[in-house]
A and B are shown apart, each in its own frame.
Chain A
Amino acid sequence: MSDLAISVRGLTKVFGGRRVVDGFDMDVPKGAIYGFLGPNGSGKTTTIRMMCGLLTPEAGDGTCLGFDILRQSQEIKGRVGYMTQRFSLYEDLTIRENLDFIGRMYRMKDRGARVDRALVDLGLAERAGQLAGSLSGGWKQRLSLAACMLHEPELLMLDEPTAGVDPKARRDFWDEIRRLSARGVTVLVSTHYMDEAVQCDFIAYIAYGRKLISGTPKDIPRLVGLQTWVVEAGEVGTLEAALKADPDVAQVARFGAMLHVSGTDEARLEAVRQRHPGQWQKLDGGLEEAFIWLMSGAQDNFAGPAARGGA
């Protein structure tokens, strides 16, 4: 038994002649929290679907919990909890009926007790008889999450599980994720939130169907080669405009009264600091800046192939 929960090579998916996932490799160690990031339409959902056997890849192979993703999807499905990006429980069934149905699909022995426990943990015990479709967006997310964890899977694949969830619930959710991870459950989670990305053990960044970069949250900014300084100023607006016009600055992001100024070259950033006097401070981490930087690059890359395809 290897110590990898997921190991895939060269996964490729073509939709209508377009390679929406292209030669994707990934190794996820057992018990890790693995973050999956990338701009909209980059192929995260498609990749996850291929790994749990819902889509057949055009090329590539790999294993999930030691089972072949092409031939043993039945075994994989029984051991994986997959939370879809779009709400996919039955809106015209009640909360309890939905959980009960999922429980039956996995043929759980102690179904009733587990459903009861899940309802209590969710804080929905009193509303168990309410139709799932009448829940608010965030509550639907939380219900889906509970549903995909009901059978205590060894591997969780969560596709933007916290989209639309309030900050308190998100924190509770991540506490739960870390608890599961400590117990040895592997979690693959796609997200657009940076505060969630930094909580992951590893991150893979995907754009236009290719994996661009992967590593620990600490490594990523270095791998991207981006340095970020924070500057505070009284006249933030004026300074922001000036910095944006500066050719040596790669990217400026505003955080309240502060500006995050990033660049790829040490010496040129030094020159920028000379030109614009103020309270400069080196930022360590800078994960969010790194991703914004990657994403602005990805757009250009996307425009390239599209333009070529049209010509």
Chain B
Amino acid sequence: MTLSLARLWAVLVKEFIQMRRDKVTFVMMIGLPIMQLIIFGFAINSDPRHLPTLVEMADTGPLTRAVLEGMRTSDYFEFQGVVTSPAAGDRALRDGSANFVVVIPKGFERDVMRGLRPALLLSADASDPSASGAAVAALGGIVDQAVADTLAGPLAQKAASPAPVQVTIHKEYNPEGRTSTNIVPGLLAIIMSMTMVMITAVAIVRESERGTMEALIATPVRPAEVMVGKIAPYILVGYVQTAVFLLAALWVFRVPFLGSWWAFFAGFNLFIVANLALGFLISTLSRNQMQAMQLSFFSLMPSILLSGFMFPFAGMPPWAQAIGSAIPATHFLRLTRKVMLKGAGIADVTQDMAGIAAIMAVIVAAALLRYRQTLD
């Protein structure tokens, strides 16, 4: 049967007019991403400093003092005092009064001089891995610097590689080294998952809730014309959101953009369409706008929790990774981080694009199956 471009266009134009007249939604479409950016970008500080730290000193000397001084001036660690036993250190970590315990082992100074490469131990509270990540990552450099400074002059040859002090870290930490630079690119995936899905779902359900669907499908219009015509205007909304996001990311949060703009452009177009299709699917499952809203929020939860936005993807159990892989945001988030932070080009992100495309195909198929051209 023949599809009519003119009819599709008419649905699209109508949708635009309605969008323009719905002031509240319009403001939300632009305001929400900005608000989220501010909250996640500024308020949620994923690169915290001045974390409470305790020291267990079994030795002391110029090197120990230099290491501790280096930690203090790094701003990451704030020394709260000294513990006298490992048990006291564990207790402090457990009850949260300290995030870190530094252990200077017995005979530390002497062993360094003898070239025995003793281990400096840092126990980190990993219950909030994102809180300690940056501090832990910085420690290696601090210690090396302290050693280099102290062993200057007559002892300089001791400072040559291999490093005279080993740094041992207890507890896992986020391998990606989470910083605000890392969170902002991920945020785009979340913002779009939220607004795109919800706006489309609501716009379509509104049609049946207000009864206008009955008149619409009494005309010879075809389902594909309705689907594309209703979805297409929101692609433009996605563009606007992305533009706002990029402006803020690059100029307010100073996130670098190292990779290929083309890779980014291709990826976000695909991602927008996938989200709109999901919104369409949700609309076929909802009876009214309230349900559409709730379902959209429901679909957002895994995007936030399992996409690698909140917790490092690699650290999740296999079942969670499996669910995460079925979420478009997971792939888009990887793509954005790769492109913006790691300088990826089109060739580096084909796998992520394929992931989004595959999920999208399933969603579109399900939506078309669910979409009725009748009122049954």
> Which residues of A approach B to under 8 Å, CB–CB?
49, 52-56, 73-74, 77-78, 80, 82, 84, 86-93, 97, 101-102, 104-107, 131, 144, 147
Contacts and interface: CB of A to CB of B under 8 A. Distances in A.
A92 B21 CA distance: 7
A105 B22 contact: no
Contacts of A54: 214, 217-218, 374-375
B224 to A, nearest CB: 13
Contacts of B210: 88, 91
Contact of A93 (B14, B213, B220): B14
B84 interface: no
Contact of A84 (B1, B6, B211, B376): B211
A88 B10 contact: no
Given A89-B212, A107-B4, A52 B218 contact: yes
A56 B210 CA distance: 21
A87 B211 contact: yes
B219 A105 contact: yes
B215 interface: yes
Contacts of A49: 214, 375
Name B's interface SS.
helix
B82 interface: no
State the 6 A-B residue pairs at the shortest beta-carbon distance, nearest first. Answer: A104-B10, A88-B215, A105-B219, A82-B218, A78-B220, A88-B211
B221 A105 contact: yes
Given A88-B211, A90-B212, A55 B376 contact: yes
A92 B219 contact: no
A101 B14 contact: yes
Contact of B218 (A56, A84, A101): A84
A17 to B, nearest CB: 15
5 contacts: A49-B375, A91-B210, A104-B10, A105-B7, A105-B10
B212 A88 contact: yes
Interface in B1-53: 1, 4, 6-7, 9-10, 14, 17-18, 21-22
Nearest to B8: A104
Contact of A106 (B213, B214, B219): B219
B375 A55 contact: yes
B270 interface: no
A256 B279 CA distance: 59
Nearest to B9: A104
A42 B202 CA distance: 32
B219 A102 contact: yes
A56 B217 CA distance: 13
